[in-house]
């Protein structure tokens, strides 16, 4: 197994933790605002591995006591058949594991948690149910697995956050009118301001300004313990 993208240190992705991030290729969604187009649309053009597993193990061994954990991101990491082995490697070396997911695979996520391989989950809430498929780039998307992931995380067995990348072309006040009641009782919710990059799937999208983002955050505060724009 290889690591398809690697960030040796991240402070922002995990509350009060210092970690590194690994990116694994492949995703079942095609969010137009996705920043990781080379990892998502890799079929037929195998991306060069960023790091072999052995080198990643060496890296972690040298960071014991310096980093708290590893953020496993993508793409959608739960698509990877070898994910359990990767997480076991990370846990064996004494690091916490954060999994970033789009919520499509609730059973796989729960199985990994039951094995003691997941300490924190960051799940995307792409949009209101009414605009979910459009925002995920999958028209007609079946929301049942997404709803199941949300319900399981709300039970609070594993520490978690929900987050939405907010894009002017997809999100407005009506989005948060619907998302708020859906995730009511959640611990943490982050609104991420969209930033245009060269690697985005669909160029030409634009962010909301800070004032609008704070307005959306205010809509969410009656429903969620901690709401933040980042
Ligand atoms: S933003 Fe996440 S869920 Fe959407 S296409 Fe990119 S990797 Fe997949």
The 3-class secondary structure across 100-115, one letter per residue, is EECCCCHHHHHHHHHC
Task: Tell me what the mean pLDDT of segment 113-142 comes to.
Answer: 98
Q: Report the pLDDT value the prediction gives residue 45, as an integer from 0 to 100.
A: 64
Query: Which of 28, 32, 33, 36 gets mutated to test ligand 1 (max ligand atoms within 8 A of its CB)?
Result: 36
Query: What number of H helices and E strands is found in the chain?
Result: 8, 10
Q: Identify the three-state secondary structure at position 33.
A: coil
Distance, CA of 2 to CA of 24 (rounded, Å):
8
Angle, helices 83-92 vs 106-114, to 10°: value is 30
Q: Report the pLDDT value the prediction gives residue 12, as an integer from 0 to 100.
A: 63
Q: Tell me the CA–centroid distance for residue 30 and ligand 1, in Å.
A: 6
Q: Is the pLDDT of residue 38 over 90?
A: no
Q: Is the pLDDT of residue 49 over 70?
A: no
Q: Which residues line ligand 1 (CB under 6 A)?
A: 27, 29-31, 34, 36, 40, 74-76, 102
Would you call the peptide bond into 185 cis, given omega within 30 degrees of 0 as the criterion? no
Lowest mean pLDDT among 104-113, 128-137, 191-200: 191-200
The 10s digit of each residue's pLDDT in 10-27 is 876 788 899 999 999 999
Q: State the residue for tokens 């962010």.
A: 207
Q: Is the pLDDT of residue 117 over 90?
A: yes
* Number of alpha carbons in the 13 Å side-chain half-sphere of residue 43: 3
Query: Which of 28, 32, 33, 75 gets mutated to test ligand 1 (max ligand atoms within 8 A of its CB)?
Result: 75
Over pLDDT 90: what percentage of the chain? 82
Q: Tell me the CA–centroid distance for residue 102 and ligand 1, in Å.
A: 7
Residue nearest to atom 4 of ligand 1 (CA): 31
Q: Is the pLDDT of residue 187 over 90?
A: yes
Q: Is the pLDDT of residue 50 over 80?
A: no
pTM of the model: 0.95
Contact yes or no for 23/50 (Cβ under 8 A): yes
Q: Report the pLDDT value the prediction gives residue 199, as an integer from 0 to 100.
A: 83
Q: Report the pLDDT value the prediction gives residue 126, as an integer from 0 to 100.
A: 98
Question: For the chain, which domains are there?
Answer: 2-229 (3.20.20.70)
Q: Report the pLDDT value the prediction gives residue 46, as an integer from 0 to 100.
A: 62
Q: How wide is the angle at C-alpha 56 spanned by C-alphas 157 and 52, nearest 5°? A: 120
Mean model confidence pLDDT for the chain: 94
């Amino acid at each position: 197994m290889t690591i398809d993208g690697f960030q040796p240190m991240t402070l922002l992705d995990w509350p009060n933790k210092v970690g590194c991030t690994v990116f694994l290729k492949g995703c079942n969604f095609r969010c137009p605002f996705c920043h990781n187009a080379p990892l998502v649309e890799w079929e037929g053009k195998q991306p060069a591995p960023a790091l072999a597993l052995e080198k990643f193990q060496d890296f972690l061994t040298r960071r014991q006591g310096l980093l708290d954990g590893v953020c496993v991101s993508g793409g959608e990491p739960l698509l990877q058949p070898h994910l359990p082995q990767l997480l076991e490697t990370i846990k064996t070396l004494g690091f916490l594991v954060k999994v970033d997911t789009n919520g499509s695979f609730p059973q796989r996520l729960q199985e990994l948690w039951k094995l003691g391989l997941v300490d924190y989950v960051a799940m995307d809430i792409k949009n209101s149910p009414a605009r979910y498929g459009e925002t995920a780039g999958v028209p007609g998307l079946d929301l049942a697995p997404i709803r199941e992931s949300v319900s399981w995380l709300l039970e609070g067995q594993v520490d978690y956050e929900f987050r939405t990348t907010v894009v002017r072309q997809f999100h407005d006040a009506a989005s948060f009118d619907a998302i708020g009641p859906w995730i009511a009782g959640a611990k943490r919710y982050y609104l991420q301001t969209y930033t245009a990059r060269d690697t985005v799937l669909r160029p030409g999208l634009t962010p909301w300004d800070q004032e609008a983002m704070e307005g959306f955050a205010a809509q969410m505060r009656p429903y969620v313990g901690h709401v933040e724009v980042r």
